[in-house]
Structure 1
Amino acid sequence: MTRSFHKMHGLGNDFAVFDARETPLAMTPALAAALADRHTGIGCDQLIVVEPSTIADVRMRIWNADGSEVEACGNATRCVAALVGRECSIETAGGLLSAAPGGDGASVDMGAPRFGWEEIPLAYAMDTTALPVGWEMLEGATAINVGNPHLVFFVPDLDDVPLERLGPQIETDPLFPNRINVNVAQVIDRGRVRARTWERGAGLTRACGTGACATAVAAIRAGLADNEVTVELPGGPLVIEWRSGGNIRMTGPATLAYTGEIDLEAFR
């Protein structure tokens, strides 16, 4: 069965987006992983299926490159808003979001962050503002759920952290029953933070929208940054706004690279 798809990206975090609002698409973990393969498939960090919703304008489902379905993806949310082409509400497994396209991207209300240990979730109760555990030079992480689970480590020099080695160790640690996304961040000043993300199920990515949100919230909550902060990722910057007790707003680009067709039966 041949289906059209959109290859899109947010700051280099790339997606194969299937619009299933009119024609349903049955997606499985194995099919998602096969399509995401960069050598034999379309190639992407995440595969996105846009479906009808009974509670929002559209429903967005997200599969990582390893085939695991996840709750949220900030960069993909901007891409879906750009695809819809107007202000819209988006149902995700991580909650209901609202987004509006504008310029070369979109602005998204990502909802309120959650800090309870059981909301991350962690395997057992502990202080999520500074976890009393560590992995080599990475210690004292903040744990935050921004639709999906994140750790944020603040470090003196971002480039000194071997995230490609430590990321998978931390992601799969038994402390995190649903695995976890791992962010390392370096505060430049009160309006700028550099960050890198090891994304659960996808590995190192050029940008992670929810990772930028988690990083900004952690910095603001710790008094290291103002309520609006630019998070500089390897793929480029995202602007994150948050005030204690409120929702997170993320603004950044969303780019359509090309539209194509693919025979899904060849991958089943």
Structure 2
Amino acid sequence: MPLRFSKMHGIGNDFVVLDCRQRAFPLDAAQIRALADRHTGVGFDQLLSVEPARDPDCAFYYGIWNADGSPSGQCGNGVRCVAAWLHRAGALALGEDVTIESPSGPVTVRLLGPTEVTVDMGEPVFEPARIPFAADAAADHYELAVGGEALDVGAVSMGNPHAVVAVDELADPALQRLGPLLTCHPRFAQGANAGFVQRLDRGHLRLRVHERGAGWTLACGTGACAAMAVLHRRGAVDDRVQVELPGGTLRIDWAGPGHTLWMTGPAAFAFEGEWPVPPAAARRDG
């Protein structure tokens, strides 16, 4: 039986969304990679599954897989797409706060419009062991040797690990080489999303992100949260920041320690489709 899916994106960060509310998740890592192939499959940065909640305090659960088939703990643009998908399915109403469950824990979403969503992303985590990142204590700056260069890096978790580097110019060709190297730096035990951020003023940032398991993307929601959080901790930005990514702009609000961080932005439907499930997946699901 063909696998029905929705293709969505959040400012260019694109997803395939599967309805698994009444069926088991049908794909293994190899099949996810085949579906993710932009030449012979559908193509996506991440795959999202909408499932029954494991936590009774949550309305639904969503799973996240990268294009290389590896699981992910959180995806900021993805959770907005999940919320918009659930609204279109009649499961979420506009204007109310609803808690849904991610692989890294509960997330509260509020639909401001059918395709405009604000998300409580939780409080940024700077404790190295919880990122995880190899360091004796939390700090605003860490020096990492990357590709023969010493980079000044901020480390934070937004439900997934991030390495944030402040730069003067995002067009610097060295970033194309440094991004993949920073993503797999050995001090990040699970790898990291590598974000390069240019500060324009206290309320405006520009950002590029090389995501673990997906590569360079047009947008990274948790990356925007991470960049704002690292610079806010350093006293370089205000409590509300516009983060401009190649695919569009997100608004990030954070009042500092003791407060949760909110991300606001769009979620868009591209198309619906069917993909022929490989025989092994069909047998396992049936």
Instruction: Give TM-score, length-normalised by structure 1.
Output: 0.95
Partner of 2:225: 213
The answer to whether the Cα contact below 8 Å between 2:84 and 2:111 also exists between their aligned partners in 1 is: yes
Partner of 1:257: 270
Partner of 1:159: 171
Give, as a single letter, the amino acid of the residue that structure 2 aligns with 1:207: A
Partner of 1:233: 245
Partner of 1:131: 142
2: CA distance, partners of 1:138 / 1:106: 38
Query: Is there any run of 5+ residues in structure 1 with no aligned partner, and where?
Result: none
Partner of 1:2: 2
Partner of 1:111: 122
Give, as a single letter, the amino acid of the residue that structure 2 aligns with 1:225: V
- Residues 1-268 of structure 1 mapped to structure 2, 5 A cutoff: 1-55=1-55, 56-85=58-87, 86=92, 87-103=97-113, 104-135=115-146, 139-244=151-256, 245-265=258-278
Q: State the 1:101 CA deviation.
A: 1.8
The answer to whether the Cα contact below 8 Å between 2:143 and 2:150 also exists between their aligned partners in 1 is: no
2: CA distance, partners of 1:267 / 1:192: 48
1: CA distance, partners of 2:52 / 2:204: 38
The answer to whether the Cα contact below 8 Å between 1:31 and 1:267 also exists between their aligned partners in 2 is: no
Give, as a single letter, the amino acid of the residue that structure 1 aligns with 2:43: G
Q: State the 1:138 CA deviation.
A: 6.0
1: CA distance, partners of 2:60 / 2:211: 25
Give deviations 1:204-247, integer Å, cap 9, x for gaps.
00000000000111121111111000000000100000011211
2: CA distance, partners of 1:29 / 1:236: 30
Q: State the 1:124 CA deviation.
A: 4.4
Q: State the 1:264 CA deviation.
A: 1.2
The answer to whether the Cα contact below 8 Å between 2:126 and 2:138 also exists between their aligned partners in 1 is: no
Instruction: Give TM-score, length-normalised by structure 2.
Output: 0.89
Q: State the 1:163 CA deviation.
A: 2.7
Give deviations 1:130-169, integer Å, cap 9, x for gaps.
1122335562211000110001111111211533311111
- 1:159 partner SS: coil
2: CA distance, partners of 1:180 / 1:47: 18
Give deviations 1:74-125, integer Å, cap 9, x for gaps.
0000000001112422211212101122233211000111001101112342
RMSD: 1.6
Comparing 8-17 with 45-54, which one deviates more in the overlay? 45-54
Give, as a single letter, the amino acid of the residue that structure 2 aligns with 1:189: D
2: CA distance, partners of 1:69 / 1:230: 29
Q: 1:153 to 1:62 in 2, by over 3 A?
A: same
Query: Is there any run of 5+ residues in structure 2 with no aligned partner, and where?
Result: 282-286
Partner of 2:284: none
2: CA distance, partners of 1:50 / 1:125: 38
Q: 1:266 to 1:232 in 2, by over 3 A?
A: farther
